[in-house]
Amino acid sequence: MQFLKLSVKPLTVLVTTSVLMLAACSEPPAAAQGQPTPEVAVVTLSTSSVALTTELPGRTTNFRQAEIRPQVSGILQQRLFTEGQQVSAGQVLYKIDPATYQAAFSSAEAALSSARAAQHNARLRTDRIKGLLGGKVVSQQDFDDANASLMQADAAVASAEAAVLTAQINLNYTDIKAPISGQIGRSLVSEGALLIANQAQGLATIRQLHPIYVDLSQSSTELLKLKRQTGADATAEVNVDLLLEDGSRYSQQGSLQFSEVNVDPGTGMVTLRAVFPNEQGQLLPGMFVRARLHHGTNDNALLVPQQAISRTPKGDATVMLVSSDNTVEVRPVTLGASYGQNWLVTDGLTAGERVIVAGLQKVRPGVTVKAVNAADGA
């Protein structure tokens, strides 16, 4: 019996100790250690009006481009422009030796004069025979022959006129003119070169740079979203700002003009085309740029400070909220475009909720916190 009494006491002590330890563990860590409730700074979300924008990569391209080629063969006599200058449509750029074409034109004119003389004679003869036909002096066959000769003379005149026109065109082509207005590049030939009609090598290239196009690439998915935001026509009333290669903003605003009618099956991208004024020639063909499309406003936008956004290992965006009972909650969110120091949140939050913007390192989900307004300097 004495043995039993001795064994009960250690068991009682062990149970008592376990109960005390469980009681201690059940208390909040802060209370057990005497620490105050963590304080965090929050922003209470409210709706605001923001402009809807989409930023796309792009590349500048000529508004128009024309390669200059000769349309007749001959020896180049003169180059009548300065490389790099602005030229006007119809301005003479090169001059081919016109001697042979002038001679062909003169010969065609002489042939036309001869054909007209023969036509005049045939007409007089036909009229004379026609007057004698009623008096039975000439036969009907004589009149028919005379009339046929007149018709042949008329055809000869028409053919000669066409030959004169062809010779005149070829003579005019010895003056090689600018088909469009724009800036002309370097000349690839010099005086004395033999030019061949419609040769493969161009003589020079004219580029119209004012206005200038910017071709943009956008995924078909984003294009559908843009169409929903702007209506059926994705290019209707869409203004565009341009960011240059050095990060500076182009001084003038452009507009969206055109959307490609097919999707590239290899990349899933669609080409959009914007047009910009370029009086000063600041934009040159081939420059890489970024275009910011403005396509309306969102009057119920929720903007969240960027410092409130965290990322999961998979890259998903999350925020920490303070609920109505002052406990911390983690919420996944969907982000739109950035606006200054804020992100546009398109899904996951509602107006009136409190988002933690400072003190995130001191809290974890489920912890009770003291929330203060970030605007009060907390």
- Residue 212's beta-bridge partner residues? 276
DSSP structure class, residue 211 = S
SS3 assignment, position 367: coil
Q: Classify residue 74: in a domain, yes or no.
A: yes
Q: Classify residue 11: in a domain, yes or no.
A: no
* Res 37: pLDDT: 85
Give the model confidence (pLDDT) of 337-366 as tens digits: 788 889 989 889 999 999 999 988 888 898
Averaged over successive runs of 10 residues, the pLDDT of the chain (378 residues) comes to 42 41 44 68 90 86 94 96 94 97 97 96 92 80 91 96 97 96 94 94 94 89 68 62 91 84 80 91 92 82 91 92 92 86 90 91 88 73
* Res 133: pLDDT: 79
Q: Classify residue 26: in a domain, yes or no.
A: no
Are 254 and 174 in the same domain?
Answer: no
Domain boundary among 179, 207, 235: 207
Q: How many CB atoms lie within 10 A of CB 244?
A: 15
Domain boundary among 144, 174, 207: 207
Q: How many CB atoms lie within 10 A of CB 227?
A: 16
CATH number at 172 reads 2.40.50.100
Q: How far apart are CA 292 and CA 168, in angstroms?
A: 53
* Res 224: pLDDT: 74
Are 176 and 118 in the same domain?
Answer: yes
* Res 140: pLDDT: 87
Are 177 and 307 in the same domain?
Answer: no
Q: How far apart are CA 214 and CA 59, in angstroms?
A: 5
Q: Classify residue 21: in a domain, yes or no.
A: no
Domain that holds residue 239: 54-63+208-297
Q: Classify residue 359: in a domain, yes or no.
A: yes
Burial class of residue 46, CB neighbours in 10 A (0-12, 13-18, 19+): exposed
Q: Is 182 left (phi over 0), alpha (psi -120 to 50) or beta?
A: left
* Res 208: pLDDT: 93
Q: How far apart are CA 244 and CA 274, in angstroms?
A: 15
Q: Classify residue 24: in a domain, yes or no.
A: no
Are 242 and 272 in the same domain?
Answer: yes
Q: Is the bond preceding residue 305 a cis peptide, omega within 30 degrees? A: no
CATH number at 253 reads 2.40.30.170
Q: How far apart are CA 357 and CA 309, in angstroms?
A: 8
Are 167 and 215 in the same domain?
Answer: no
Which positions ≥6 away from 197 have C-beta within 8 Å? 70, 71, 72, 73
CATH number at 370 reads 2.40.420.20
Q: How far apart are CA 60 and CA 68, in angstroms?
A: 22
Are 79 and 159 in the same domain?
Answer: yes
Are 212 and 201 in the same domain?
Answer: no
Domain boundary among 261, 281, 297: 297
Are 73 and 203 in the same domain?
Answer: yes
Are 99 and 190 in the same domain?
Answer: yes
Query: Which residue in this structure is represented by tokens 């910017």?
Result: 214
Are 256 and 360 in the same domain?
Answer: no
Give the model confidence (pLDDT) of 93-138 as tens digits: 999 999 999 999 999 999 999 999 999 999 999 998 888 877 777 8
Nearest to 66 by CA among 185, 211, 161, 166: 185
* Res 270: pLDDT: 86
Q: How many domains does the chain divide into?
A: 3
SS3 assignment, position 365: coil
- Residue 316's beta-bridge partner residues? none
Query: Which residue in this structure is represented by tokens 């724009």?
Result: 182
Number of helices and strands in the chain (H, E)? 5, 22
* Res 228: pLDDT: 64
Pairing of strands 370-373, 39-44: parallel
Q: Classify residue 13: in a domain, yes or no.
A: no
Are 245 and 288 in the same domain?
Answer: yes
Q: Classify residue 239: in a domain, yes or no.
A: yes
Are 270 and 280 in the same domain?
Answer: yes
Question: Cα–Cα distances in Å, from 254 out to 239, 277, 294, 336?
Answer: 6, 7, 11, 24
